[in-house]
A and B are shown apart, each in its own frame.
Chain A
Amino acid sequence: MDATIESTTTLAPDQVASSEDAPPRLWLGGLGAGIAWLAAALVVEFWPNFDDWAYTTELASAAGALGGGLLFASVAGRRLPGIDRLRSLAPWLVALALLLTSWEIFTAKLNLLPRPFFAPPQAFLEVYFEDWRRLGECVIRSLLLLAPGFFIGAALGFASGVALGWSRIAGYWGHPILRLIGPLPAIAWLPIAFFAFPSSWSASVFLIALASGIPVAILTWSGVAGVNSAFYDIARTLGASQRFLVLKVAVPAAMPHVFVGLFMGLASSFSVLVVAEMMGVKAGLGWYLQWAQGWAAYGNMYAALLVMAVMCSGLVTLLFKIRDRLLAWQKGLLRW
Chain B
Amino acid sequence: MVSAAARRLDAPDNAEGMRLDFLGVNHAFALEDRPLPVLEQIRFNVEPGEFVALLGPSGCGKSTLLRLVAGLEPPTQGQILEDGRPITGPDPSRVVVFQDPTLFPWRTVRDNVALGPEAQGLLKSHRTRIDDALALVGLSGFAKAYPHQLSGGMAQRVALARALVNDPRLLILDEPLGKLDSLTRISMQGELVELWQRSGFTTLLVTHDIEEALFMATRVIVFSERPARVKADIPIDRPYPRHRGDPKLVELRRHLLELLGLAQTW
| A interface, CB within 8 angstroms of B | 1, 4-5, 8-9, 228, 230-231, 233-241, 244, 248-249, 252-253, 255, 327-331
In the complex, the answer to whether A241 meets B72 with C-beta atoms within 8 Å is no
B95-127 contact mask (Cβ, 8 Å, vs A): 1 or 0: 110101010111100000001101110000000
Chain A hits for B118, CB < 8 A? 244, 248
A327 to B148, CA, bound (A): 13
Give chain B residues whose Cβ lies under 8 Å from the Cβ of A4.
149-151, 154
A238 touches B166 (CB 8 A): yes
Q: Is B229 an interface residue (CB 8 A)?
A: no
Q: Is B91 an interface residue (CB 8 A)?
A: yes
Let me know if A331 and B115 touch, CB within 8 A. no
Which residues in A have their C-beta under 8 angstroms from that of B107? Answer: 252, 329
Chain B residue total in the interface (Cβ 8 A): 33
Question: Are B119 and A235 in touch, CB under 8 angstroms?
Answer: yes
Q: How far is the CA of A233 from the CA of B63 in the complex (A)?
A: 13
- Number of residue pairs across A and B with beta carbons under 8 Å? 80
Which residues from chain A contact B71 at a C-beta distance below 8 Å? 237
- In the complex, chain A residues whose CB is within 8 Å of the CB of B147: 329
Within 8 Å CB of A9, what residues of B? 149
Interface centre among B70, B115, B145, B147 (most CB of A within 10 A): B115
Quick check: B96 and A329 within 8 Å, CB to CB?
no
Q: Report the 4 A-B pairs with minimum CB-CB distance, sorted nearest first.
A: A238-B116, A240-B119, A239-B92, A239-B120
Instruction: Assess the A244–B102 pair: CB atoms within 8 A.
Output: no
Check B115–A238 contact: CB distance below 8 A: yes
Minimum distance in angstroms from B87 CB to a CB of chain A: 12
Across the two chains, which residue of chain B brings its CB closest to A233?
Answer: B72
**Distance from A242 Cβ to chain B, minimum over Cβ atoms (Å):** 11
In the bound complex, residues from chain A placing their C-beta under 8 Å from that of B116 are 238-239
* Contact present for A238 and B92 (CB under 8 Å): yes
| Interface assignment of B90: CB less than 8 Å from any CB of chain A | yes
By a CB distance below 8 angstroms, the chain A residues around B70 are: 233, 237
Are B72's CB and A329's CB within 8 A?
A: no
Q: Name the residue of chain A whose CB is nearest to the CB of B100.
A: A230
Query: At the interface, yes or no: B162 with Cβ under 8 Å from chain A?
Result: yes
The answer to whether A239 and B154 touch (CB under 8 A), given A230-B98, A234-B115, is no
Scoring B residues 35 to 72 as 1 if CB is less than 8 Å from chain A, else 0, what string do you get?
00000000000000000000000000000000100111
Judge whether A230 and B102 touch: CB under 8 Å: yes
Cβ-closest chain B residue relative to A244: B119
Q: How far in angstroms is the closest Cβ of chain B from A289?
A: 42
Given A4-B154, A5-B142, decide whether A234 and B148 contact each other with a Cβ distance below 8 A: no
Report Cα–Cα, A233/B151, bound state, in Å.
23
Instruction: Indicate whether B94 reaches chain A with its CB closer than 8 angstroms.
Output: yes
Q: Which residues of B contact A255 (CB under 8 A)?
A: 106
A286 CB to closest chain B CB (Å) equals 38
Complex contact B94–A329 (CB within 8 A): no
B196 at the interface (CB under 8 A from A): no
Partner of A238 from B100, B150, B154, B162 at Cβ < 8 Å = B162
